[in-house]
Amino acid sequence: MTAPVIRCRRLTKRFGSVLAVDSLDLDVWHGEIVAILGGSGSGKTTLLRLIAGFELPSDGAIHVEDVEVSNPSSATPPDLRSIGMVVQEYALFPHMTVERNIAFGLDRLPAAHRRARVREALALVQLQDMSERYPYELSGGQQQRVALARTLAPSPVTVLLDEPFSNLDSSMTRRLRLEVERILRSQRTAAIFVTHDREEAFAISDRVGVMVDGRLLQIDTPERVYHFPASPEVAAITGTCDFIHGVARDHGRIVTELGMLHCVSSVDRLAPGQYATVLIHPDDLELIPDPDGQGVVASREFRGDDVILTVRLDSGATLRSRRRSFSTLPAGSRVRPSAVKTMPFMAYPADP
Amino acid sequence: MHSHRMHSHRMHTIARVRTSLAYPFIRARPCRECKDDRSPPAPALLLVPALLVGAAMALPLVYLAMRSVGASSEAWELFFRLRTAQILWRSVQLVLIVSFGSLLVGVPMAWLTTRSNVPMRRPLSVLGALPLVVPTYVGAFLAISALGPRGLLQDMLEPIGVDRLPEIYGLPGAAATLVLLSYPYVYLTVRGALARMDPSLDESARLLGQGAVAVFFKLTLPQLRPAMISGALLVTLYTLSDFGAVSLMRYESFTWAIYQQYQSAFDRTAAAVLSLGLVGLAAAALLIENLARGRSRYYRSSSGAARPRSPVDLKALRWPAAALAWLLLACALGIPTAVLAYWLVSGIAAGEPLLLLWTAARNAVSVSLLAALAAAALAIPVAAMSVRHPGAVAAALYRISHTGYAMPGIVVALALVFFGSRLLTPAYQTIWLLVFSYVILFLPAALGPARSSLLQISPKLEESARILGASQLRVILSVTGPLMRSGLLMGGALVFLITMKELPSTLILGPLGFETLATAVWSASEEAFFARAAAPALMIVLVSSIPVAVMMIRERT
Amino acid sequence: MPSRASLMSAAPLALILALAAACAGVQDTAPEPSAPGDRGGLVLYSGRSESLVGPVVQQFREASGIDAQVKYGSTSEIAATIQEEGGSSPADVFWAQDPGALGALAPLFAPLPADMLEAVPQWARHEGGRWVGISGRARVIVYNTELTEDQLPKSLQELTDPRWKGRVGWPPANASFRVMVTAMRHLWGEDETRAWLEGMIANDVKVFPKNTPIVAAAAAGEVDVGLVNHYYLHRFLAERGDEFGARNLFLNDGGPGSLVMVAGAAILETGKNRENAESFLRFMLSRVAQQYFAASTYEYPLIEGIDTHYLLPSLDVLAGPDIDFALLNDLEGTEKLLRDTGVIP
């Protein structure tokens, strides 16, 4: 199939003077899982509600499999869009059993067919024994799986998930999100899920879109939005990051306090002599104990799996370095920092 | 990656998208100008019925406006005189006292009968709601007969030298009567809210070391605020429109002044002008309600499925609490029924036949049931607009739905006489127009509970249903409706109870020869045939207790 | 498989719906006329309650074969209803408790035949021939029986005396009371009436909404005397027996306090059953009906040759005031006076 499952063009939504979604373009393809990553108030939930049809765009249009479903003057109602949605609170119907919840979207099927599909959906989420339970008799994780089964049962072309894991404790989150990924992949259903948690976004999505103030700043594979964020703003959202100033030379080389770094840039090419700022992730910064080094360990944060050391350079800049958990460098010790990466660093034009 | 996919009826669903007509949202303005689209537009399925209800509710206002436009300058002079302001102030005083009094009585009564282990909780629960069915003109008359300066009580005390009891007329008598007969509005709405409240909140508060009393004041009471407000609003509007108690207790309220115009001056325009003043008072009450309500909104997705809770142990206070509750019931229900029974028995002893008015009872039950069903159904769109699509339209609808309730029954009835005899001739003087008038009068009683139950249903549930492919109608029928059931049932029951005793509209708009229990009571008591009035009055209480009992028993399941 | 819970919830709803469906068919209107000799219908709007006039209306149905359908209500409500219905009123006959309502609606009535009007005394009919009195009632002072003969008031004027402070009840909203004040204005003059009203208020007169509670209050001794119509007392006596603690005082002084007035009826111009309406009025002025009023409602019959109830002084004995009854239609002037004096707001 050539058309994307979901296509948003110049999608805009205003609430009064606030631009919740700002001229946003987005294509989601069959079988693809797209995460929309953004802080609260970034407009990511509004985006989902626009796609679902609960909000009408102020401008722009939405197509589902090449059929226009929303424009500013008319909209296909949500029930006719073949889109599924799982909300943060799951919204299971409290007065219906698990079975009836799942059967809710299947009312157009003949009864026998419907029962078969409910069984399939229950099997998919491995809750075969729970069909007669009421939602309040389920744990949070079970509720979430029922919500997913209910959404998938009618075979929607796309599933929208709004912060699907935020109501669960962290140990369960990891297990469940892999489970959800497995289920989505097995159905080859396209999915868009919004989250404020980058780990969650990276873990199960094919592509991650980064949203700030209603704008989709970058959408790409998890690796690319992490390693090559389109702007310092994106970088701040996709990872723990520090910046170091430098001056460009030719061939993508930038001279910094940490020496000469090979960089690519968000703009086509940084002209030699142009000021720049280079993104340094904690993983990129090596520290070698050296009484004559140009940095000092300002603080250390032991986290179990690793330890984060904050280094203050003589210039006053601070950088963070992630070391293995048995690193014993104490706070106050002098170090020689060096930036090491198997691929180019990311650089952005900067003011002097 | 492409393992087994569930049966693909995907083509079917996509085809649905393709063939579906894009449907236009209803919006107030063409879109190019709309800078502000804060809340999603209300769907036509909701907006159209809501607007129709609003139009119906506006009929009395239209009528009053028409009458007032034709009013002479004299009528307006009458309105702007100082005495009008005085009477207005008297009404305000009465309303304030009765509303606070009803809260003071209704909230503890509701808590005792739902949350505590007070002895005989079931009978208390049922009886607690029943004073609502005693018409105020009966209640006040009976109160005077029993507790008046030379009433039955004084008669009993005569041997110990009590020659005369203190006067109960005026503000104290009117307020006491109205509190005793209208506190069930608060009682019933608060009970509903208590039943829906999440028990885990209470439990966690108790675990945090809070005593039962502290939990009530810190946790329960604040959560009950919307229910208390909507109950108090009903009491307020009911008090504003009451004529029975104020006239017999000789308290010159605003409604009393309006009746004066009809009764003795046969002056419809002056009455209409004064009624507009009453509408103004009602508007003020609604404004205050709005302020008091604040922006509180609580959704609870797990509504209706509350776990059974264990009652609060009152310990040593069990019996004193029960005694207080029974004392209240003795005043509100015991005295009236005792006096009625006394009249009935003394009447029979004097040779009066005991007339059981089965036709009147059947008529009363049938129109009351119809009114309850209609009001509960019509409350849905208005409540949904006000909760789900707040804005100028919803606010206007909500307010206009309350005006009928604040007006004396005669004003609403005459408005429908005016429109009905001209525009709805086939329905005029049939039970259908009569039921219509009940809806105009009593819709707020259904609206309050409907609204508070809707407030506790998360809109996400409806959205989830929508996106699972349910049409708006199906969402209402299979999700919103069932979840609102307890609220609708409560509202319907309230409307049923008030309709059972309604008088002016029943007399004026009822079919020719139509008799209900209330008209039978009126017909007899108007002419001082008290023994004859006693039987139908007792029947009102008995018949009305059936739905109340059913409701209370259902609550347990 | 529907769950138990949903069945539980559906049951009451189904019950209600079934009941409603069953009830919808219930008595929508009065039974269809089916008697042989069916002479068509009649729509009566009665400001007099069913407990008073129901039996005599039934007698009319049986005697005439006319299916009379009745809307009962208070006189003022019925009057307002007729006014609102205007030309589309289904009513044929309006039967009112008092002449005030009839006067207010007189333009809507059809002229009555002269012989019907002449059946009653001149004071008991509309000067323009638009309504006719059906029964008479007298203004009285109801008093508590603990008062001795010499303690009773001799006149209305006397009630402003400090001796009566806080001991008198009156119903200013009552239409008959208004007619009495109207008569007072003509007999005493505007100024004296005003002085009397003000004197009564200064004397702490107790305000009641209508007659019945005044009679009850007088019997209970809450007030010692009250200004009412005569027949309420007799209903109490019939129900409570002779130990009931109140009796009527007929002032019999030719003043406004001894006014005799009527409950009357009229035919609406817009009615569709003019002939039946006339039959109805004639029946109510017949010996049968007049006998009923005298015997059962303790009112005064208005045609010749019917005996007044033995408990009542006869009309001939009552020295009613000499007044042109046409003047009593000026309710507006009375209304204004009552308002100016603060009797009503």
Nearest to B56 by CA among B442, B503, B508, B494: B442
Residue-level pLDDT at B433 = 94
Instruction: Yes or no: say if A79 and B23 are a contact pair by the CB < 8 Å rule.
Output: no
For range C20-35, the mean pLDDT: 42
Q: What is the side-by-side strand order in the sheet with A215-220?
A: A83-86, A158-162, A190-195, A33-37, A207-212, A215-220
Residue-level pLDDT at B482 = 87
Strands C168-170 and A207-212: unpaired
Contact state of B144 with C213 under an 8 Å Cβ cutoff: yes
Matching residue, tokens 């003949």: A110
How many residues can be counted in chain C?
345
Pick from B414, B428, B531: which is nearest to C80 by CB? Answer: B414
- A54–chain B nearest CA distance, Å: 7
Strands (E), B193-352: none
Q: Of residues A350 and B553, which shows the higher confidence score?
A: A350
Shared domain check, A198 and A313: no
- A85–chain C nearest CA distance, Å: 26
Shared domain check, A247 and A162: no
Instruction: Yes or no: say if A286 and A338 are a contact pair by the CB < 8 Å rule.
Output: yes
For B376-403, what is the HEC assignment? HHHHHHHHHHHHHCCCHHHHHHHHHHHH
Instruction: Yes or no: say if C91 and C99 are a contact pair by the CB < 8 Å rule.
Output: no
Nearest to B554 by CA among C16, C21, C23: C16
Contacts of A122 in chain B (CB under 8 A): none
- C340–chain B nearest CA distance, Å: 11
Shared domain check, A166 and A136: yes
- A132–chain C nearest CA distance, Å: 9
Type of residue found at A133:
R
Q: A265 lies in which domain range?
A: 243-349
Contacts of C90 in chain B (CB under 8 A): 421, 428-429, 512
Matching residue, tokens 């909780």: B121
Contacts of B429 in chain C (CB under 8 A): 29, 71, 90
Strands C131-144 and A18-28: unpaired
DSSP string, C258-277: G-EEEEEEEEBTT-S-HHHH
Q: Of residues B214 and A4, which shows the higher confidence score?
A: A4
Cβ–Cβ contact B295 with A under 8 A: no
- A171–chain B nearest CA distance, Å: 24
Instruction: Give the count of Cβ contacts less than 8 A between chain A and B.
Output: 168
Residue B54 tokens, joined: 């609003």
Q: Which of A204, A236, A268 is the last residue of a domain?
A: A236
Q: Would A165 be classed as within a structural domain?
A: yes
Instruction: Yes or no: say if A36 and A47 are a contact pair by the CB < 8 Å rule.
Output: yes
- B373–chain A nearest CA distance, Å: 22
Shared domain check, A289 and A173: no
Query: What 3-state class would DSSP assign to A219?
Result: strand
d(CA B405, CA A2): 62
Q: Which of A205, A236, A267 is the last residue of a domain?
A: A236
How many residues can be counted in chain A?
352
Query: What 3-state class would DSSP assign to A239?
Result: coil
CA closest to B21 among chain A residues: A76
For range C279-292, the mean pLDDT: 94
Residue-level pLDDT at C309 = 85
pLDDT less than 70: residues of chain B = 1-41, 82, 198-212, 264-265, 294-310, 355, 554-557
Contacts of C210 in chain B (CB under 8 A): 247
Shared domain check, A286 and A201: no
Contact state of C335 with B347 under an 8 Å Cβ cutoff: no
Q: Would A139 be classed as within a structural domain?
A: yes
Cβ–Cβ contact B259 with C under 8 A: yes
pLDDT range class, residue C42, cuts 50, 70, 90: very high
Query: What 3-state class would DSSP assign to C117?
Result: helix
Q: For chain C, list the contacting chains (3+ Cβ pairs, <8 Å).
A: A, B
Instruction: Yes or no: say if A155 and A30 are a contact pair by the CB < 8 Å rule.
Output: no
Contacts of A87 in chain B (CB under 8 A): 460, 463-464
Strands A345-349 and A259-265: parallel
Q: Would A86 be classed as within a structural domain?
A: yes
Q: Which of A180, A203, A236 is the last residue of a domain?
A: A236
Query: What 3-state class would DSSP assign to A190?
Result: strand
Optimal mutation site among A51, A88, A104, A189, interface B, most CBs of chain B within 10 A: A104
Contact state of B479 with A93 under an 8 Å Cβ cutoff: yes
| CATH code of A294's domain | 2.40.50.140
In this predicted model, what pLDDT tens digit does every residue of B357-402 receive, in sequence order?
888 999 999 999 999 999 999 999 999 888 888 888 888 998 899 8
Q: Of residues B209 and A94, which shows the higher confidence score?
A: A94
d(CA A193, CA A45): 9
- Per the structure, how many domains does chain A have? 2
Shared domain check, A164 and A75: yes
Shared domain check, A269 and A230: no
Residue-level pLDDT at A55 = 85
Residue B86 tokens, joined: 């005085």
CA closest to B13 among chain A residues: A82
Count Cα neighbours of B383 within 13 Å in the Cβ-side half-sphere. 29
Residue-level pLDDT at B38 = 41
- A145–chain C nearest CA distance, Å: 22
Q: How far is CA B477 from CA A97, B446, B454, B510, in A?
A: 17, 18, 14, 33
Contact state of C23 with B365 under an 8 Å Cβ cutoff: yes
- B417–chain C nearest CA distance, Å: 6
Shared domain check, A277 and A213: no
Optimal mutation site among A32, A49, A82, interface B, most CBs of chain B within 10 A: A82
Instruction: Yes or no: say if C197 and C122 are a contact pair by the CB < 8 Å rule.
Output: no
Quote helix, strand, coil % in chain C, to nearest 5: 45, 15, 35
Burial class (CB within 10 angstroms; exposed 0-12, middle 13-18, buried 19+) of A11 = buried
Instruction: Yes or no: say if A352 and A302 are a contact pair by the CB < 8 Å rule.
Output: no
pLDDT range class, residue C62, cuts 50, 70, 90: very high
Query: What 3-state class would DSSP assign to A191?
Result: strand
Shared domain check, A215 and A200: yes
CA dihedral A13, A18, A22, A26 (to 10 degrees): -50
Cβ–Cβ contact A97 with C under 8 A: yes
Residue B360 tokens, joined: 């009147």
Cβ–Cβ contact B461 with A under 8 A: yes
Q: For chain A, list the contacting chains (3+ Cβ pairs, <8 Å).
A: B, C
Residue C138 tokens, joined: 């007298």
Count Cα neighbours of A236 within 13 Å in the Cβ-side half-sphere. 8
d(CA B224, CA B445): 17
Residue-level pLDDT at B11 = 38
Cβ neighbors of B483 (< 8 A, separation 6 or more) are: A93, A94, A95, B303, B304, B453, B457, B461
Please, which residues 112-141 of chain A have a Cβ atom closer than 8 Å to chain C?
132
d(CA B186, CA B232): 6
A259 dihedral zone (left: phi>0; alpha: psi -120 to 50; beta): left
- B33–chain A nearest CA distance, Å: 10
Tell how far CA C245 is from the center of its chain: 24
Q: How far is CA B303 from CA A244, B298, B424, C5, C20, in A?
A: 54, 11, 42, 14, 29
Optimal mutation site among A15, A59, A76, A80, interface B, most CBs of chain B within 10 A: A80
Strands A215-220 and A59-64: unpaired
d(CA C81, CA C96): 13
Contact state of B421 with C216 under an 8 Å Cβ cutoff: no
Least confident of A271-280, B94-103, B199-208, C21-30: C21-30
Residue-level pLDDT at C7 = 38
Instruction: Yes or no: say if A148 and A140 are a contact pair by the CB < 8 Å rule.
Output: no
Contact state of B362 with C331 under an 8 Å Cβ cutoff: no
Residue-level pLDDT at B93 = 94
In this predicted model, what pLDDT tens digit does every residue of C239-276 receive, in sequence order?
788 888 899 999 878 888 888 888 999 999 999 999 99
In this predicted model, what pLDDT tens digit does every residue of B279-338 receive, in sequence order?
888 888 888 888 887 655 555 434 344 445 567 777 778 888 889 999 999 888 888 888
Shared domain check, A296 and A203: no
d(CA B114, CA B556): 10
In this predicted model, what pLDDT tens digit does every residue of C99-139 receive, in sequence order?
888 888 999 999 999 999 999 988 888 888 999 999 999 99
Shared domain check, A121 and A19: yes
Percent of chain A residues topping a pLDDT of 70: 99
Least confident of A164-178, B200-214, B423-437, C2-16: C2-16
Contact state of B527 with C52 under an 8 Å Cβ cutoff: yes
For range A288-304, the mean pLDDT: 90
Residue B251 tokens, joined: 């308290």
Asked whether the ipTM of the predicted complex exceeds the cut of 0.95, the reply is no
End-to-end CA distance of chain B: 48
Contact state of B362 with C23 under an 8 Å Cβ cutoff: yes
Return the H-helix or E-strand segment holding B538.
helix B530-556
Cβ–Cβ contact B257 with C under 8 A: yes
Q: Residue C188 phi/psi, 5° resolution?
A: -100, -20
Percent of chain A residues topping a pLDDT of 90: 41
Q: Is residue A56 predicted with pLDDT exceeding 90?
A: no
Q: Per mean pLDDT, which of A336-350, B311-325, C314-328 is the most reliable?
A: A336-350
Nearest to A85 by CA among A179, A194, A170: A194
DSSP-derived secondary structure letter, B218: I
Instruction: Yes or no: say if C266 and C333 are a contact pair by the CB < 8 Å rule.
Output: no
Contact state of C80 with B410 under an 8 Å Cβ cutoff: yes
Geometric angle at alpha carbon A50, from A45 and A51, rounded to 5°? 100
d(CA C238, CA C215): 14
Residues of C in CB contact (< 8 Å) with A are 3, 5-6
CATH classification code of B72-300+310-554: 1.10.3720.10
d(CA C326, CA A337): 117
Q: How far is CA B17 from CA A85, B125, B433, in A?
A: 16, 52, 44
End-to-end CA distance of chain C: 67
Shared domain check, A258 and A150: no
In this predicted model, what pLDDT tens digit does every residue of B399-430 receive, in sequence order?
899 888 888 888 899 999 999 998 888 889 89
Q: Would A1 be classed as within a structural domain?
A: no
Contacts of A132 in chain C (CB under 8 A): 3
C65 dihedral zone (left: phi>0; alpha: psi -120 to 50; beta): left
Domains of chain B, by residue range, sit at 72-300+310-554
Cβ–Cβ contact B315 with A under 8 A: no
Largest Cα–Cα distance of chain B, in whole Å? 98
Percent of chain C residues topping a pLDDT of 90: 47
CA closest to A147 among chain B residues: B464
